[in-house]
Structure 1
């Protein structure tokens, strides 16, 4: 007899419901995006990247790329590609996704 655990909580695109990230990949709820509160995730899926750009954010200057839903094109937030200050290097490779663009499913 196989025993299966509960499926992991999943964050999905609010528009098309394609999975974007899992609860286990959530690193922080203390970020702000264009539309308000945003979460930082270690991984994201079903996304495509925009152009690389240098952006001055609250905590410093970063090279980022906007991230979009690969299914419907909704802009979610950004991926940190490079930090200009060594103390912000922990953000590199992480994804910031705006809460208004995703919904949580159990």
Structure 2
């Protein structure tokens, strides 16, 4: 298996994997800072790159039942957060197709 091609991002602020600094998302794609992940604060993003996705699973969260996929860094395999596939509560439908990156698992990287 060859090395995975990685996408490099450019923006006023670029977030990357805290372990290997692979680019993941930009400040421009951040939708909210008002989320909580499994390990503390988390951010909601519209676009995240350089990830692999796990299998879908139903999880009961504080905002109701969601079908989500864990997301991992394409370079080092670190778990970074999850992607919302489906929100089972009508008021939470805006999360579908969006990504959660946990603040403690990402860092600022130079573009």
Q: 1-side partners of 2:90 and 2:38: how far apart?
A: 25
Partner of 2:28: 24
Partner of 1:3: none
Aligned with residue 43 of structure 2, among 39, 43, 55: 39
Deviation at 1:24, TM superposition (A): 0.1
Q: 1-side partners of 2:99 and 2:50: how far apart?
A: 13
Answer yes or no: is 1:98 the counterpart of 2:98.
no
Partner of 1:49: 53
Structure 2 gaps of 5+ residues are 1-9
Structure 1 gaps of 5+ residues are 1-6
Q: Aligned-pair RMSD on alpha carbons?
A: 0.9
Deviation at 1:12, TM superposition (A): 0.6
Q: Which protein is bigger by CA-based radius of gyration?
A: 1
Q: 2-side partners of 1:61 and 1:81: how far apart?
A: 11
Aligned with residue 68 of structure 1, among 72, 78, 81: 72
Give yes or no for contact 2:18–2:107 (8 Å, CA) kept in 1: yes
* More strand by percentage: 1
Give yes or no for contact 2:21–2:109 (8 Å, CA) kept in 1: no
> What is the aligned length?
100
Partner of 2:3: none
Deviation at 1:86, TM superposition (A): 1.4
